[in-house]
Amino acid sequence: MSQENYQDTQLYRIRHSAAHVMAQAVLEFYPETKYTIGPPVENGFYYDFELPQPLAQEDLEKIEKRMRQIVSGHHKFEKKIVSAEDAREVFKDQPYKLELIDGLEKGSLDEYGNPLNEKPEISLYQSDTFVDLCRGPHVENTKQINPSAFKLMSIAGAYWRGDEKNKMLTRVYGTAWEKPDELKQYLQMLEEAKKRDHRKLGKELEIFMFDDEVGPGLPLWLPNGGILIEELEKLAKEMEDKAGYSRVRTPNLTKEDLFLRSGHLPYYAESMYPPMELEGVKYYVKPMNCPMHHKIFGARPRSYRELPIRLAEYGTCYRYEKSGELIGLMRVRSMQMNDAHIYCSEEQFEQEFMGVIGLYKKYFDLFGIGKYVMRLSLHGKAGLGKKYVDNERLWLKTEDMVRRAMQNGGVPFVEAVDEAAFYGPKIDVQIWSAVGREFTLATNQVDFAVPERFDLKFVNKEGTDEIPLCIHRAPLSTHERMIGFLIEHYAGAFPIWLSPEQVRVIPITDGQNEYAIQLAAQLREQGVRASADLNSDRMNAKIRSAQLMKVPYMLVLGENERAAGTVSLRGRDGSQKNNIPVAEFLAQVHERIATRSSVL
């Protein structure tokens, strides 16, 4: 659901109103509190406070209890339009509100500190004793907030306006729903999500780690993680080979001049690592591969007969994400991106753009991703020349090209204003994991501006030079984000083709160790990732160990199996089949790996 549609719902009003009720309760317990903003968000709401003392988790219980008392008072939410001067009088002891009022008066910021396109009215909402600077909307009366359908969830730190230079505030998160059953379902989903958290499973399954001496946001891939990366890259190479891509490689750093020419540096300087200066020349570690791919395309004259040219690379990029925004593998500072740039003529654009969309769908089918939304991200007029390339004509033209391509292809999409890349519109793909957690994963972008900056051209059918369109796509996102998603999506129980360890051979006694060693070696020779568990534990303990590591297949070997040259197969799902010939098992495993089957 888009933000605009969400704001029109009763659920949005309930959550927005619950944030005000929570702020009232907090102020009653801590009258010296300075309060800031309290917006609804996906699945709930939050409010940021500067408190006279730290909050503990147990404090949430008393705040929540007071909220229920306030809600039961059936208080109206009353709106009042005021002047900036009157608003300052109301909030004379609230410095954060005064700062927001200044932004409202100038027409530069709304009451949440977000940029505005036009000067708004200044409005207050009062319910019971609490007054807030707010544009709404709210429920008409607190009786529309079900006291059994909300809950305070957690406490976190948050910088004022998200800026690390500003004061650290206390953020209290809550969730609110229309009915108690919806709250119950949401809490159950959260419990399941905790079990699937990629940070927890990533450690337990020995996939990745972080280390303070290496640096925050810079993941270290353990051997199991290395296998996941290799399998994803193998998948991408196969798919891209079939689709006519050529693979290239580019260095991890480059001179400053390249990013000045591309236009990236002025737009992304704050997200880039600072430069290194050698012999009077500044070098940057690359935050994206695009400029170097442009250099490869422009390295020699091109003809329309060569187009489209599709250059692909799993290049490592570095972005200085803010410390407070780093989240496991989902937001990191070092990333390997499933990157490619397609250079084509305008006539080829629709086919090439929709070819990328088709690639998305193949990946989604493979990974069992049934819920996703394609979002057409458009420019915002107020950002022209600042956030976006200053060419309204080309913005409107390329946005319409993407819109028509999606419509002609029969692919549903939603539109989002002011979400584009600086150089063109894009399709961002929101996907949902098996437990309903939303991720922004893939992207398909149009670049109408940068090719001209690099003087890229091809000779068209008429014999004249023409600037190509560039499509920048990353269907598998980055290794980091994709693997983080897949860990949670599969709860660490990857399909056989993707599992770091595909088979574990388990001898019941030492008498079968030699057979176990030979069988594991035979499996590895046949391209199956297998190991033999030769430790002194009992069989049940060995099976439990394999289950904890979510190994798909366990081959249990007793004296009968050793004598007959067979295996007893135990599946990760608890299934069991005895006395299987090794050749039969190998054929089954090979078929499921080769087809990348999701069947165990």
**pLDDT band of 497, cuts 50, 70, 90:** very high
Which pLDDT does position 112 carry in this prediction? 66
Q: SS3 of 163, please?
A: coil
Which pLDDT does position 118 carry in this prediction? 64
Instruction: Kindly report the three-state secondary structure assignment for every residue of 325-356.
Output: HCECCCECCEEEEEEEEEEECCCCHHHHHHHH
pLDDT, tens only, 225-259: 999 999 999 999 999 999 999 999 999 999 999 99
Q: In what order do the strands lie in the sheet with 253-255?
A: 253-255, 281-285, 276-278
Between 106 and 477, the higher pLDDT residue: 477
pLDDT, tens only, 517-576: 999 999 999 999 999 999 999 999 999 999 999 999 999 999 999 999 999 999 999 899
Which pLDDT does position 25 carry in this prediction? 97
Question: Chain-centre distance of CA 560, in angstroms?
Answer: 50
Which pLDDT does position 390 carry in this prediction? 82
Helices (H), 208-348: 223-242, 256-262, 264-268, 290-297
**pLDDT band of 437, cuts 50, 70, 90:** confident
Cis upstream peptide for 425 (omega within 30°): no
In terms of Cβ atoms closer than 10 Å to its own Cβ (0-12, 13-18, 19+), residue 441 is buried
| DSSP H/E element including 48 | strand 44-50
Which pLDDT does position 528 carry in this prediction? 96
- First-to-last alpha carbon distance for the chain, in angstroms, is 35
Q: Is the pLDDT of residue 199 over 90?
A: yes
Average pLDDT over residues 296-322: 95
pLDDT, tens only, 346-356: 999 999 999 99
Sorted by where each starts, the structural domains of the chain and their CATH numbers stand as 3-178 (3.30.980.10), 204-490 (3.30.930.10), 503-594 (3.40.50.800)
Closest C-alpha among 300, 303, 309, 389 to residue 341 = 309
Which pLDDT does position 253 carry in this prediction? 93
Share of the chain above pLDDT 70, in %: 97
pLDDT, tens only, 363-419: 999 999 888 899 998 988 888 877 888 888 889 999 999 999 999 999 999 998 888
pLDDT, tens only, 72-83: 999 999 999 999
Q: Is the pLDDT of residue 1 over 60?
A: no
Share of the chain above pLDDT 90, in %: 79
Average pLDDT over residues 408-432: 88
Neighbours of 34 (CB within 10 A): 18
Alpha-carbon gap, residue 296 to 317, rounded angstroms: 18
**β-strands 553-557, 566-571: how paired?**
antiparallel
Alpha-carbon gap, residue 343 to 75, rounded angstroms: 60
Which pLDDT does position 113 carry in this prediction? 64
**pLDDT band of 120, cuts 50, 70, 90:** confident
Which pLDDT does position 201 carry in this prediction? 96
Q: Is the pLDDT of residue 2 over 60?
A: no
What is the rounded average pLDDT for all residues in the chain? 92
Which pLDDT does position 115 carry in this prediction? 63
